[in-house]
Structure 1
Amino acid sequence: MFLKFSKSDILNSPLVYPETGALGYTILTRSHFIRDSDKDSDTESEDDHGENRRTLIFNKLGETIAEIGWKGRQPIEIVIGQEKIIGAKGMFGCSSAILSRNVLGIPTRFDTEYFWMAAPDGLTLLDYDSNQTKGSFHSSSMRVGERFITAPIPSLGHDYLEFEPHPLASTEELIVSFILMEVLRRSRFNLHTDLSDRSKLWRNTPLANWGRRLRRRSI
């Protein structure tokens, strides 16, 4: 299955089928701050404020099929269909994780041979037994035929989700898992976390800096 994020913010974007442009899913995240009413406002510190967000995933009919509750950047509650999971650990398997300096591998809960493999340059779903890639998150990419290439300028690319179906995992579980792993990947490898405006990323590239110098010289 191929799905394209039509907006740069993966937590607030429609997911469309690239071949037709038809809507598949919609991801919407709302944020709000909760203040403890029992605290004295004169002595209350910034740490007493907690940011709570809730990510809702809708199907094409507008029906809610999954939810993620966040406390800061930590997922504290996941709902998939009628199943409620407390904390992110319940979304993953119990076998040993794969840890190295540049790779983080976390087992799935639906197949002991499937691992989410996170690295600074990407996120994949790997069948460890056959060493075959069963899913990928393509960030800031362009689709050329049947393959993806990294966009030369971030603002020109889109994020794509590609995965094969699994008999023991629903599509909504795979989407939720990819979102959780992508947020974890960016945090672990200190990657940019605000993708709401890719033009900011473009303005910081060497090519953009070279272009600004050229314009100044031509004035």
Structure 2
Amino acid sequence: MLNSSLIDVSTGERAYEIVTTLVLPDSETNADSGDLGSSIPDVTSKERRHTRMTDFAGNTLVSIAWNGRQPDIIILGEKVGGLTNLFGSSTVRFMPKILLVPTRFDTEYIWTATANSLTLFDYDSETTKGTFYQNVIRVPTTFKLRPKPVAPSTSYASRCLPVASPSSPSSSSSLSSCSLPSSPSSSSPVPSLVSSASSSPPSASSVRIPSCASSPTHTETPKSSFFPTHLPGVGNNYLEFSRHPLAHDVEIIVSFLMMEILRRGRFVLTPYTFEKPKLWQLKETRDLVFRRLRGYTV
């Protein structure tokens, strides 16, 4: 997830790039140069990594400094900090089979995670505003929509952003197409779809977007059906979400990625690692097989 190319489905071009690198000890600056002990590397210290999310022009939009598994996040120049600041709360509702985490940009928007799903839910309208699909195959279809006026307050374009399935960073990637405005304040919201492809062999994605208010007479809208493969590394991962007037797209994308890491820890799934994606896939496949065997023998 943290080494992926997010692809504009309508053009097949890269919209965003997420790259995570290991920060070597000798490249870190030492603030306490007068302390002799500070020049000795601490072998027990946590590994440090750095994640950058850039746009198609190479401009840095998001910067995440990792101290072990603890992130320090900067979004569009704003110092967000840790996960408690990203989600706007230090308390989390733990339930037997569900994890509920608030959002900082809307009190009615709640991240909802289970062992098998991750969604963004709006309790005000009682609708799902975002969904994370994992290891699925997308089958594009079309359907007819009746032309009807849409209130200006609901004229936010919906977009999907598939997050690439982990794979080898040294391989070439296959891409899917979709359209993505550069910012939530775009003057003409257009139905858009974003796919993320990792820098690895066949891994591509695209997602459905309903028609938006700017084109009320639009009669056909891209639609997709998703079929789970139930095998890590087979198929692709997709992130579908609706735009929000108070949050930039990249904040929603980053929040989804952080929620997926939390979800894996909460439900004792294969933890996300920064290792090579193929190795990570093998671990996830092994854990999945063992869980199924335990389920059959109980």
The TM-score normalised by the length of structure 2 is 0.58
1:143-170 Cα distance to aligned partner (Å, 9 max, x none): 1232222124333211111100000000
1:142-153 pair list within 5 angstroms: 142-145=137-140, 146-153=224-231
8 Å Cα contact 1:12/1:29 also seen in 2: yes
1: CA distance, partners of 2:122 / 2:79: 26
Do the aligned partners of residues 71 and 100 (structure 1) sit closer, same or farther apart at CA in structure 2, a change above 3 Å counting?
A: same
Shift of 1:130: 2.3
Which of the residues 234, 246, 269 maps onto 1:191?
269
Do the aligned partners of residues 190 and 165 (structure 1) sit closer, same or farther apart at CA in structure 2, a change above 3 Å counting?
A: same
Q: How many residues align?
A: 193
Deviation larger for 92-101 or 122-131? 92-101
1:88-129 Cα distance to aligned partner (Å, 9 max, x none): 111113496332022111110000000111111121111022
Which of the residues 40, 54, 60 maps onto 1:58?
54
Match of 2:282 in 1: 200
Shift of 1:191: 1.6
Structure 2, unmatched stretches of 5+, are 31-35, 141-223, 290-298
Match of 1:7 in 2: none
SS of 2:255's partner is: helix
Do the aligned partners of residues 72 and 199 (structure 1) sit closer, same or farther apart at CA in structure 2, a change above 3 Å counting?
A: closer
1:27-106 pair list within 5 angstroms: 27-34=18-25, 38=37, 46=43, 48-75=44-71, 77-94=72-89, 97-106=92-101
1:31-82 Cα distance to aligned partner (Å, 9 max, x none): 13548972797xx875x3221111100001111011111111121x111112
Match of 1:118 in 2: 113
1: CA distance, partners of 2:97 / 2:9: 31
Deviation larger for 119-128 or 141-150? 141-150
Match of 2:154 in 1: none
Match of 2:196 in 1: none
The TM-score normalised by the length of structure 1 is 0.77
2: CA distance, partners of 1:202 / 1:187: 13
Do the aligned partners of residues 62 and 39 (structure 1) sit closer, same or farther apart at CA in structure 2, a change above 3 Å counting?
A: closer
2: CA distance, partners of 1:186 / 1:49: 24
SS of 2:252's partner is: helix
SS of 2:23's partner is: strand
8 Å Cα contact 1:98/1:104 also seen in 2: yes
Instruction: Report sequence identity in percent.
Output: 39
2: CA distance, partners of 1:202 / 1:185: 14
8 Å Cα contact 1:55/1:68 also seen in 2: yes
Query: Which of 1 and 2 has higher RCO (CA within 8 Å, sep 6+)?
Result: 2
Aligned CA-pair RMSD: 2.6
1: CA distance, partners of 2:281 / 2:81: 36
Shift of 1:202: 8.4
Do the aligned partners of residues 34 and 163 (structure 1) sit closer, same or farther apart at CA in structure 2, a change above 3 Å counting?
A: same
Do the aligned partners of residues 32 and 124 (structure 1) sit closer, same or farther apart at CA in structure 2, a change above 3 Å counting?
A: same
Structure 1, unmatched stretches of 5+, are 1-9, 207-219
Match of 1:108 in 2: 103
2: CA distance, partners of 1:136 / 1:125: 6
8 Å Cα contact 1:95/1:112 also seen in 2: no
The letter of the residue matching 1:38 is: G
